[in-house]
Amino acid sequence: MKKVLLTGVAGFIGWKTGKFLLEKGVEVVGIDNMNNYYDVRLKEYRKKDLENYENFKFYPVDIENLGALEVIFKDHKFDCVINLAARAGVRYSMINPHVYMTTNANGTLNLLEMMKKYQVRKMVLASTSSLYAGQPMPFKEDLPVNTPISPYAASKKAAEVMAYTYHYLYGIDVSIVRYFTVYGPAGRPDMSIFRFIKWIDEGKPIILYGDGSQSRDFTYVDDIAEGTILSTKELGYEIINLGGGKNPISLNTVIQTIEKYLNKKAVIDYRPFHKADLKETWADITKAEKLLGWKPKVSFEEGIKKTVEWYLENREFLKDIEVGNE
């Protein structure tokens, strides 16, 4: 690859994926609408880091804006589109479902239309483990994920299906990567690990939904970025899990590990379990190993250590970052 369009480039995964591509010498055209779903200062922090590379160009564009996308596709010849732009978050999707459909589904459709028109042959589309709700574990890609339990998951399913349609009709090569709970330095402040670190360090009560026994297949951001880049290879149409692939880790274990590296004890404010959340996630990553030669390298313990270290190094900047209460 010589030139890639990377959407959601100031997002958590977009930033790290872009950084790895730039370090490989790939020209990255990044777009992001810099919305305020969470504190924009973190997005600015990531974007500023990418702007240190000469082979990076940024456009403040929303993938819902077809006219703006047309200008970018006219001006650049892309080898691949990596679509990481999305409205994320299960709970907020229940409050504002319309924006999830317009961004996650219609935005993906806009990109596919531009790819068809300007003959870009490859898309990597970010999707989610939230689609596996109610399925047996470990989750395999061929499970019938036809009953999403949140507008967020439903909008991601819509994007997957639309991408298949464009593969079938127009021969666009599509890799759909289903991410499993991504964490790491400069992560999303609405996600549990960022919030737990900040709350424990500041002596504020952790808001915990459920009893903490619910578990996730946590995956370090560097591993996710590597898997995303490997997915740019020609595959036809494939859905690929990118997750830790080992036994899921409970939120109680997460809290204990953060306590260890902060050397502080958590105060916990228990709340009722949210019905749109999954009790447990666990990825079968056999397909990723077979098709991409990918498997995660960073252990959960090491990943938490790195994340806490980053937090402590940037504590002054992060003290004013809003993490919300929901």
**Which of the following is catalytic: 152, 166, 179, 311?**
152
Contact assessment for residue 155 and residue 104, using Cβ atoms and an 8 Å cutoff: yes
Using DSSP's 3-state secondary structure scheme, residue 129 falls into helix
Residue found by looking up tokens 């692939």 in the block: 245
Cα 294 to Cα 235: distance, rounded to the nearest angstrom:
15
37 CB-contact burial (10 Å; exposed 0-12 / middle 13-18 / buried 19+) = middle
Cα(86)–Cα(93) distance, integer angstroms? 12
Show the tokens assigned to 289.
């190993």
Q: Are 234 and 292 in contact (CB under 8 A)?
A: no
Residue 152 annotated among the catalytic residues of the structure: yes
Q: What distances in angstroms separate CA 208 from CA 100, 146, 195, one per listed residue?
A: 25, 29, 11
**In this structure, are residues 111 and 123 in contact, taking their beta carbons and an 8 Å threshold?**
yes
In whole angstroms, how far apart are CA 300 and each of 95, 224, 251? 32, 13, 12
Contact present, 258 and 309 (Cβ < 8 Å): no
Start-to-end CA span in the chain (Å): 41
- Measured N-to-C along each axis, helices 12-23 and 221-230 cross at an angle, to the nearest 10 degrees, of 60
Could you give the CA distance from residue 9 to residue 56 in angstroms, rounded to a whole number?
A: 11
Rounded to whole angstroms, the Cα distance separating 219 from 283 reads: 10
Q: Are 195 and 323 in contact (CB under 8 A)?
A: yes
Residues noted as catalytic: 152
